[in-house]
Structure 1
Amino acid sequence: MQKKYEEVVAWIRGELREGRLKQGDKLPSENTLQVRFGVSRQTIRKALSVLEEEQIVRSVRGSGTYIEIGKQKRQRSMRIAVMTTYVDVYIFPLIVKEIERVLSDEGYFLQLAVSNNAIEKERMILKDFIRERSIDGLIAETTKSGIPNPNLKLYKELERMGVPILFINSFYPELDIAHVSLNDRAAGRMVTQHLLDCGHINIAGIFKADDGQGHQRYAGYVDALMDADIKVKGKQVVWIDSDEIAEMRDDCSRILKRIKGCTACVCYNDEVANKLVGICMDQGIRIPDDLSIVGIDNSDLSRFCEIPFTSADNPVQELGKIAAEMMLDKIQGIGDIETVELMPDLVMRNSVKVITHI
């Protein structure tokens, strides 16, 4: 008498013979197969295990089981790719250095790739990873995650190949892939609340439009204002994209027009805050007497700016450490990998005028 798991195996083989399943196709979920055959999950897993041993299917953790006839398991290269938008500026060196330290301690090499926050460059890098099949895992910073991205199917292809992926700093909401980042909404709320606590009511904001972090930090800004029963005024919010940050001084008239009448401004990050400090100094706007400024990330820019400014700390070294450890766990199949969002701390400097004492 044919065993239950053998019925499942026979059905899948039959589907292959009839052409209803072909190379690369994803099998129905375990739950669907359980219902179809009226068997337990253990029986389904036994059937899939038999087919995997015969090199007919391959299971991808967190993704599903795929038809991959005759494909051998790839030997580990002991190489983990880290793809960031930038590498030698701002907070990125500290993140990369910490990831490399953890990976190196476990005998892995770091393969660094830089997208320059360009979707086409990200696409080229991902295609190289797929073609070369030389990495054991990918820690990736998203590219312009606030707008539609045509490269998501390449991430799915890497997952289908068995390459574990982890996002840092932000994530693509369309993909079910864990990420490690600052809790950006909490950071936006924290710096805005600090301004409210200091007595500011008319609070402007400058946020990045083309990445998810900008949207989340704006959401935190809105949360704090609404909780204080303060109307969110769209005319007091400036939206900029990645390319426009470098040109903020050239666009100072638009920015100053939007924040006119405000006593304080929440900046998307320290880079934006640093640029705003420069604009204010050029225009004779005194900080904090005329305008209070806060940033996010607590980078070197916040400490060594001509006017050091208050910022929400982004624990980037901890972020790098956790990301590397999570990737190692994913490669080794240790437990379920879940998203980690780190809470910020407020680092106060002399860029905020106290209208009413905290």
Structure 2
Amino acid sequence: MKDKPKYEVILDWVYKKIESGELKDGSRLNSENELVALFGVSRQTVRRAIADLETRGIVRRRRGSGTFINILPEHGEVNVLSPKERTNRIAVITTYINEYIFSPIIQAIEKVLHNNEYSIQLSFTNNAIGKERQILEGLLENMDIDGVIVEPTTSGLPNPNTHFYRELLARGIPVLFLNSYYEDVKVPHVSMNDYAAGKIATEYLLQCGHKEIGGIFKADDGQGRRRFSGYQDALLAAGVEVKRERVVWIDTELLAAEDADYAFITKRLKNCTACVCYNDEVAIKLQNICLNQGIGVPEELSIMGIDNSELAHFAQIPLSTVENPIEDLGKLAALGIMELINGHGLQENLELEPKVVERESVKKILDFRM
């Protein structure tokens, strides 16, 4: 058996000191110089160990004062477990499983994990914070996983469950976010560059000659806000006014409702020649609404989706959209969580660049002048 990496020896020592009570909440950890001398390692090794402890919420640094054992404020105590034997099981939590783009993402994750002798423990939240809380409580109770890949729930809104993620980190369970992220939980994420997706979708419509461009975005997911930001910046860069009355904000419940009255959407888009949609699912709903109301697509309204899902291929009018590299997302998420489990912290978030896919739902206006 190979010797443990030197920084893990320092981690073990800290855990044992906490468990024995020698290090308590608020106790000052030995200085870098003291740890270098104590373990006979380089300053870089010590800094890596401290950074790992800080990421897990076990210590906090105070500028000019040193490093101190941390308390988890939600529980009033330090929750730290010693490094345990590997289970070779990864928890994967997504908002949905078989719907929309989630199946190929999960399949890509499972393939990489299987090839590396990991099994997958799959759960879904239906984008509901209550279900997310139930799943996380179960993970913390059983502690039979090595890491967690999770798609955040309603990531555009304040979430009361984020302390569960900090507790997982404090117990030595690495977490990686997929597709989006919670801004107040400092762990790496793997996603498409959502800002770029909104921007290039809008730029494509501008290049096709459209100026009166509306938008439909999801308000309760972080992706929706970032895609709107890209849409807005593309219009401004082209010297086109951003008209708020042409932007429609929807949420998970409205998107899922079969009997929802979408008439208000076409009223908001009445004077538009094109629309950027949050994703292909929204774009197909808009296409169906237009066709039912006798609005020609793309003759009267051009529609641009995001994701390049199967829906885009098989729509009544094949959908122009933006490619979301979903299989790459799943692969990189699986590789990323294994890196974190093995103590190799990811140096940066991975945001993959999208590209436009042209089909039949966008009309090119030939007499356009920029």
| TM-score band, normalised by shorter chain | 0.7 to 0.9
One-letter code of the match for 1:311? T
Distance of 2:79 and 2:276 partners within structure 1: 55
SS in 2 for 1:324: helix
Contact 2:79 2:170 in 1 (8 A): no
Contact 2:57 2:166 in 1 (8 A): no
Contact 1:186 1:344 in 2 (8 A): yes
Alignment of 1:235-314 (within 5 A): 235-247=245-257, 250-314=260-324
Measure how far apart 1:73 and its partner are: 2.6
Distance of 2:196 and 2:102 partners within structure 1: 21
Measure how far apart 1:336 and its partner are: 3.4
1:62 counterpart = 2:55: yes
Give the match for residue 241 of structure 2.
231
Measure how far apart 1:159 and its partner are: 0.3
Deviations 1:214-241 (Å, cap 9, x if unpaired)? 0000000001000011111110000000
Measure how far apart 1:243 and its partner are: 0.9
Give the match for residue 220 of structure 1.
230
Deviations 1:180-220 (Å, cap 9, x if unpaired)? 00000000001100000011011000000000000000000
One-letter code of the match for 2:168? L
Residues 124 and 287 from structure 1, CA distance in 2 versus in 1: closer, same or farther, beyond 3 angstroms? same
Measure how far apart 1:297 and its partner are: 0.1
Residues 225 and 69 from structure 1, CA distance in 2 versus in 1: closer, same or farther, beyond 3 angstroms? closer
Report the TM-score, using the length of structure 2 for normalisation: 0.82
Give the match for residue 84 of structure 1.
94
Deviations 1:90-144 (Å, cap 9, x if unpaired)? 1000000000000000110000011110001000100000000001000000000
Deviations 1:153-176 (Å, cap 9, x if unpaired)? 000000000000000000001111
1:111 counterpart = 2:104: no
1:136 counterpart = 2:146: yes
Contact 2:312 2:320 in 1 (8 A): yes
Give the match for residue 319 of structure 1.
329
SS in 1 for 2:361: coil
1:122 counterpart = 2:132: yes
Residues 46 and 254 from structure 1, CA distance in 2 versus in 1: closer, same or farther, beyond 3 angstroms? farther
Measure how far apart 1:26 and its partner are: 6.7
SS in 2 for 1:250: coil
Measure how far apart 1:63 and its partner are: 2.9
Distance of 2:248 and 2:346 partners within structure 1: 40
Distance of 1:263 and 1:26 partners within structure 2: 61
Task: Point out the more displaced range, 249-258 or 189-198.
Answer: 249-258
Measure how far apart 1:70 and its partner are: 9.8
Residues 302 and 357 from structure 1, CA distance in 2 versus in 1: closer, same or farther, beyond 3 angstroms? farther
Distance of 1:133 and 1:69 partners within structure 2: 13
Which structure 2 segments of 5+ residues have no match? 1-9, 42-49, 60-68, 70-77
Contact 1:26 1:64 in 2 (8 A): no
Give the match for residue 52 of structure 1.
none
Contact 1:27 1:64 in 2 (8 A): no
SS in 1 for 2:262: helix
Corresponding pairs, count: 329
Measure how far apart 1:348 and its partner are: 0.3
Alignment of 1:74-223 (within 5 A): 74-223=84-233
RMSD: 2.8
